[in-house]
């Protein structure tokens, strides 16, 4: 799906990584039906829930009162606040959703959401390619077999075993493309053209990503490490 937007809004290809993590959290808050798309119905329900006193208008403090929206920033609120009066009504929400996000359709996936919504937020943290951010997140979600938001060494090694099609204990140049954490990364070990990349080689990547030395990778650690590897290639 291709989106159009008002002339003054140009979708970003890069944004601050802290901004992207914040917007990622907001995306999943707003994706009420968990279909990996934000639709008008989702936005309408979120806005209606923020209107605590049911007067058809909500203010920033009302939005923060929603437990799911307590991480929302003033920038998030200002996306839909049209005329500078500090209030948002449903006409504002409708206008801005279709103007900024989805003028050609009724749903927005996470990549489109990040590219458009990051134009309304200041860049916080080191700049990161949005496509790499999304690809890394997608790889993490598939690899996280028990959906607990953490990638264990067992789950990581399972990806290695799956990619090792000939079961020789090494990943050749073709098999490295099937190893999900390094998909889109390119060559990541010197031996790929000769003996192939060993389990030790890929475990070194896991250890490099595990910045808090917990023995597991959070989605943030995973995206920062492997997303940057993708961006560097």
What's the pLDDT tens digit per position in 48-76? 888 888 888 888 888 888 888 888 888 88
User: Which tokens in the block code for residue 53?
Assistant: 């006193």
Give bridge partners of residue 108 from the DSSP assignment.
Answer: 38
* Token pair in block for residue 166: 């000939």
Each residue's pLDDT tens digit, 27-53? 999 999 999 999 888 988 988 888 888
Given a contact cutoff of 8 angstroms between Cβ atoms, the answer to whether 88 and 58 are in contact is yes
Domains of the chain, CATH where assigned = 14-126 (1.10.238), 131-232 (no CATH)
Q: How far, in Å, CA of 176 to CA of 199, rounded?
A: 12
Residue 142 in contact with residue 183, Cβ under 8 Å?
A: no
State the pLDDT at residue 68.
81
Tokens of residue 149, six digits: 């938001």
Q: Among 228, 229, 15, 232, which Cα is nearest to 119's?
A: 15
Q: pLDDT by residue (tens digit) across 130-158?
A: 999 999 999 999 999 999 999 999 999 99
Query: Are 151 and 216 spatial neighbours (Cβ–Cβ below 8 Å)?
Result: yes
What predicted TM-score, i.e. pTM, was given to this entire model? 0.85
């Amino acid at each position: 799906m291709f989106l159009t937007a008002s002339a003054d809004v140009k979708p970003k290809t890069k944004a601050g990584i802290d901004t992207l993590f914040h917007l990622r959290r907001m995306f999943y808050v707003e994706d009420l039906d968990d279909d990996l798309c934000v639709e008008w119905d989702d936005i309408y329900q979120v806005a209606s829930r923020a209107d605590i006193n049911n007067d058809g208008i909500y203010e920033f403090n009302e939005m923060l009162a929603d437990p799911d929206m307590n991480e929302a920033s003033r920038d998030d609120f200002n996306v839909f606040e049209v005329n500078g009066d500090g209030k948002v009504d449903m006409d504002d929400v409708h206008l801005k959703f279709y103007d900024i996000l989805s003028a050609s359709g009724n749903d927005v996936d996470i990549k489109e959401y990040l590219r458009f919504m990051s134009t309304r937020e200041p860049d916080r943290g080191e700049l990161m390619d949005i496509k790499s951010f999304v690809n890394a997140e997608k790889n993490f979600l598939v690899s996280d077999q028990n959906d607990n938001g953490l990638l264990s060494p067992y789950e990581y090694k399972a990806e290695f075993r799956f990619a090792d099609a000939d079961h020789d204990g090494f990943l050749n140049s073709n098999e490295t493309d099937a190893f999900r954490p390094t998909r889109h990364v390119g060559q990541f070990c010197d031996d790929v053209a000769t003996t192939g990349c060993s389990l030790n080689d890929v475990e070194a990547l896991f250890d490099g990503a595990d910045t808090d030395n917990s023995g597991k990778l959070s989605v943030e650690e995973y995206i920062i490490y492997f997303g940057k590897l993708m961006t560097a290639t």
